[in-house]
Amino acid sequence: MSSVILFNKPFGVLSQFTPEAGHPALDQFGFPPGIYAAGRLDHDSEGALLLTDDGKLIKRLLDPKFEHPRTYLAQVEGKITKEAVQKLMQGVSFKGYRSKPCTAEIATEPEWLWPRNPPVRFRANIPTSWVRLTLIEGKNRQVRHMTAAVGFPTLRLIRTRIGNVELGDLQPGQWRAVTEKIL
Q: Which residues are the active-site residues? A: 42
User: Of 181, 132, 136, 176, which is closest to residue 158 (Cα–Cα)?
Assistant: 132
> Backbone phi, then psi, for 2, in 5-degree steps?
-85, 160
CB 26 within 8 A of CB 15: yes
CB 136 within 8 A of CB 68: yes
CA pair distance 74, 107, nearest whole angstrom: 9
Alpha helices, DSSP H, located in the chain: 55-62, 82-90, 142-149
